Amino acid sequence: MAGSPDPRTLWAARGTYATRTAWAGALFGMGLVAFVDEAVFHQILHWHHFYDRGTPAAGLVSDGLFHAFSWFGTVAGLFLLADVARRGALWTPRWIGGALLGAGAFQLYDGTIQHKVLGLHQIRYVDDVLPYDIAWNAIAVLLLAAGLVLVVRTRPAAAWAHVER
């Protein structure tokens, strides 16, 4: 096909920028899942605020700060993604793996550290929160596992193996 890049050049670029691609996905995944958490559970369902140990006004301000920082991560991930794509090194399965890892890592951190260790808020204020905790953390583990599979399958050595053929 005329105008197509040399496959070896493409795989060499993917190998060189594999870590940056995974980080682009991870930042995007963290930011996206934080955004979904904030929009769905904080704003739409009103299950909790980021910080529920103060006044409702403090909870609202904490949600705004949480929302802003989640978008900083999302935008940073998209800038890294654009850089990798500009260099002709985009490796979509690796980026998706990074996004799943980032999403799962954020959700597991939120469910364990923020909910249980620091007690900033619960998923939902009900008599039996255990089913919510189990579901929240199980989804996080599934996201992490799927992301890990993709990231391992697309490790830089796999890219360089294509170059050395």
Using an 8 Å Cβ cutoff, are 48 and 122 in contact?
A: yes
pTM of the model: 0.88
Q: Show Cβ contacts of residue 52 under 8 Å, excluding neighbours closer than 6 positions.
A: 59, 120, 121, 122
pLDDT per position as a tens digit, 25-51: 999 999 999 999 888 888 888 887 787
Res 68 pLDDT > 70 = yes
Q: What angle do CA 90, 95, 98 make, to 5 degrees?
A: 150
Res 65 pLDDT > 80 = yes
**Span of 49-58, 61-70, 85-94, 119-128 with lowest mean pLDDT:** 49-58
